[in-house]
């Protein structure tokens, strides 16, 4: 671990960013050039003290998980992310693990979406990053580990996952999940993580195994969804998906037309999410 290089790199990248680059309000009387340390820490979901110690060359060696969070918070390119890992004493991410690095173009769009649910997914249904509205709607995706990081896996192994959809829509959602995974499997091949996920699900779920044999393929999301929120009830939303060029990541945005019940519920959802965030911060 090269503490001096790590500290200098973090400071330089922090100073090169402006609040609007990461979706934060500019505010008045900013004496700090670029982002503040506490802003980077918040974006990376770590304590300000921990981040400060890294910049002061006295912090412990960050884990790979922590480095991934820092790379995302500082909007690093692939080359910059590899450099961050190396000066922190880790091997640069392999192409496989690097694919979990959010595409900068998608992240720039996500940064500007604060009033509607939005999240970036891999082609295996893994949430890479979500805004506060998406967390309020779907729950905090960062708590999932292992195969459960994939929404496809959770759909076929965790009955609670299906409570988000009306019962009448669950069969269609099952087919859509399998069709999306088959598209990813076709692109990546049977020896990829997609192939591993398929084999795991074939052993874990008879329903999945039966649907897989239908060979349905689709790489899209339904244009219209009804989701069930535990406090707000049914919310009708329109879905828009923006794919990266290699189809490996998707920015999913959920909106509702103005003056509709869905739009009103989204406004309530924003209040609920803010209240929970405030309560968590106070704790």
- Which tens digit of pLDDT belongs to each residue from 50-89? 999 999 998 889 998 899 889 888 988 777 888 899 999 9
Q: Judge contact between 151 and 125, C-beta under 8 A.
A: yes
Q: How large is the angle between the packed helices 78-87 and 64-73, nearest 10 degrees?
A: 140
Q: What is the pLDDT of residues 93-138, one digit of tens each?
A: 765 444 567 888 888 889 888 889 999 999 899 999 899 899 999 9
Q: Hey, is 226 helix, strand or coil?
A: strand
Output the CA–CA distances (angstroms, integers) from residue 88 to 37, 102, 168, 253, in the order listed: 18, 20, 50, 35
Question: What letter does residue 164 receive in the DSSP assignment?
Answer: G
d(CA 79, CA 76): 8
Q: Rounded to an integer, what distance in angstroms lies between the CA atom of residue 225 and that of residue 256?
A: 10
CATH 3.30.450.180 domain residues, the chain: 104-282
Beta-sheet strand order (sheet of 249-255): 127-130, 118-122, 249-255, 233-243, 224-229
Which of 117-121, 204-208, 218-222 is predicted with the least confidence, judged by mean pLDDT? 218-222
pLDDT band at 282 (very low <50, low <70, confident <90, very high): very low
Name the 3-class secondary structure at 221.
coil
CATH 1.10.260.40 location in the chain? 3-98
Identify the bridge partners of residue 241 per DSSP, sorted by sequence position.
Answer: 252
- Cα separations in angstroms, 121 against 16, 19, 242, 255: 27, 24, 10, 17
Q: What does the pLDDT look like over 243-266, one tens digit per residue?
A: 887 778 899 999 999 999 999 999
Per-residue pLDDT at 28: 63
Q: Is the pLDDT of residue 29 over 80?
A: no
Q: How far apart are CA 266 and CA 272, in angstroms?
A: 10
The answer to whether 160 touches 177, Cβ cutoff 8 Å, is no
Query: What is the per-residue pLDDT across 139-163, written as a single tens digit (0 to 9) for each?
Result: 888 778 889 999 999 999 999 999 9
pLDDT score, position 281 = 40
Residue 30 pLDDT level (bands cut at 50, 70, 90): low
User: What DSSP character marks residue 126?
Assistant: B
Instruction: List, in sequence order, every residue forming a beta bridge with 164; answer none if it has no partner.
Output: none
61: which 2 tokens?
């060696």
2: CB partners within 8 A, 6+ apart: 87, 88, 89
Is the whole model's pTM more than 0.75, yes or no? no
Is residue 204 within 8 A of residue 157, CB to CB? The reply is: yes
- pLDDT value at residue 132: 87
Fold topology of 3-98 = 434 Repressor (Amino-terminal Domain) (1.10.260)
Whether the per-residue pLDDT at 274 is higher than 60: the answer is no
Q: Which CATH class is domain 104-282?
A: alpha beta
Note the maximum CA span of the chain: 61
């Amino acid at each position: 671990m090269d503490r001096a290089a790590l500290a200098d790199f973090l400071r330089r990248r922090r100073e090169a960013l402006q609040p609007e680059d990461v979706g934060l309000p500019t505010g008045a009387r900013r004496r700090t050039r670029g982002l503040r340390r506490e802003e980077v820490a918040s974006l990376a979901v770590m304590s300000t003290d921990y981040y400060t110690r890294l910049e002061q060359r006295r912090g412990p060696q960050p884990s790979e998980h922590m480095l991934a969070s820092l790379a995302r918070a500082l909007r690093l390119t692939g080359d910059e992310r590899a450099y961050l890992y190396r000066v922190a004493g880790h091997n640069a991410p392999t192409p496989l693990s690097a694919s979990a690095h959010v595409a900068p173009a998608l992240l720039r769009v996500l940064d500007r979406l604060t009033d509607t649910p939005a999240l970036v997914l891999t082609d295996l249904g893994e949430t890479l990053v979500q805004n506060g509205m998406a967390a309020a709607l779907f729950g905090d995706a960062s708590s999932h580990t292992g195969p459960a990081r994939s929404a496809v896996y959770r759909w076929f192994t965790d009955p609670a996952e299906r409570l988000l959809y009306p019962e009448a829509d669950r069969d269609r959602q099952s087919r859509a999940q399998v069709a999306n995974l088959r598209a990813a499997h076709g692109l990546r091949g049977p020896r990829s993580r997609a192939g591993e996920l398929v084999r795991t699900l074939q052993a874990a779920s008879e329903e999945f195994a039966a649907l897989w044999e239908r060979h349905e393929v689709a790489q899209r999301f339904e244009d219209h969804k009804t989701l069930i929120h535990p406090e707000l009830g049914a919310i009708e939303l329109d879905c828009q998906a923006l794919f990266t060029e290699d189809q490996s990541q998707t920015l999913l945005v959920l909106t509702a037309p103005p003056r509709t019940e869905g739009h009103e519920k989204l406004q309530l959802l924003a209040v609920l999410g803010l209240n929970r965030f405030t309560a968590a911060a106070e704790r």
